[in-house]
Amino acid sequence: MPTKIEKDAVTGRSTTGHEWDGIKELNTPLPRWWLYVFYACIAWSVGYYVFYPSLPWVHGVLGWSRRAELAETMQAERERIRPMLERIRATPIAAVDRSPELRDFAFAGGRAAFADNCAPCHGAGGAGAKGGFPALVDDEWIWGGDLAAIERTILYGVRSSHPDTRASQMPRFGADQILTAAQIADTAEHVLSLSGRSTDGAAAARGSAIFADNCAACHGPAGRGNVELGSPDLADRIWLFGSDKAAIAHSIHLGRGGVMPAWNTRLDEATIKMLTVYVHSLGGGR
């Protein structure tokens, strides 16, 4: 409860009449300059509310909004680049890559499109990731690395729902009991030997015959792969699902394969061509 208002003996100021545990509150007014600034801010906020959009459904007397300004800027940018996009649409992908002007424009546009659509799986720089996301910065391509092959892969995807998708299916040698666990272990040892990493020569020798009977038709006798079938090269040291014996045996057991969506229904023709040029530039450029 407020007590009697009185003069403070030390400061000479009046108290507010409030006291807590023997401590009395002084009645010290705010500085006038601070009050004037505070009132000015209130007046400014009222004016801002009237002239500019302060609520989602109130656009203000001036009719201006940052969103509308951004829309105008974006439309102006679309109009600026429209002629180049039309040229890219009308130009075969190989000719786009041969034209310095179109290639530079396509590279810049493809880099932006890649960051928006492809980087979540393939990485910001196309480095790929373990688990079925191929690296795009080397020159090892499962489905071919020339411009036409890359364009088709982007258009229709891999194991997607599109009827023209790139599709291959490795048998589930273990899950479907085509091979025994011992045979799978020997085959994995042989696959390791293709890149010079086998540590069990006898197992690799046994696996060689199994590989010839079951795997060579797709991967080739030397395991070099086949881009027509989407069969990875097993003789290099680039692996999608891990390179140790356990990971290779697991792939043989389950027949793993990644999925890439078809982009022809998500991106326009010019964007797909720009993506093709950009992705092609990341690798060795076959």
For residue 12, the SS3 value is coil
Check the annotation: does 74 bind a ligand.
Answer: no
User: Is 260 marked within a binding site?
Assistant: yes
Integer angstrom CA distances of residue 158 from 142, 161, 166, 230:
11, 9, 5, 9
The answer to which of 18-27, 82-91, 164-173, 193-202 has the lowest mean pLDDT is 18-27
Q: 159 with 185, same domain?
A: no
CATH number at residue 279: 1.10.760.10
CA distances in angstroms from 187 to 1, 65, 97, listed in the order given: 89, 66, 42
Q: At what angle do helices 147-156 and 269-282 cross, to 10 degrees?
A: 130
Residue 75 lies in a domain: yes
Q: Cα(272)–Cα(263) distance, rounded to whole angstroms?
A: 8
- What is the span of the domain harbouring residue 193? 181-254
Domain count, the chain: 2
> DSSP for 135-161?
-SSSS--SS--SHHHHHHHHHH-BS-S
Name the DSSP class of 174. Answer: T
From its phi and psi, is residue 222 left (phi > 0), alpha (psi between -120 and 50) or beta?
alpha
Pick from 237, 244, 130, 257: which is nearest to 189 by CA? 244
Tens of pLDDT, residues 95-106: 999 999 999 999
**How much is the pTM?**
0.76
Rounded to the nearest integer, the mean pLDDT of the chain is 91
Q: Is residue 139 part of a domain?
A: yes
41 labeled binding residue: no
3-class secondary structure, 131:
coil
The answer to whether the annotation marks 253 as part of a ligand binding site is no
The answer to whether residues 105 and 141 belong to one domain is yes
219 annotated to bind ligand:
yes
256 pLDDT exceeds 70? yes
How much of the chain, in percent, has pLDDT values that exceed 70? Answer: 95
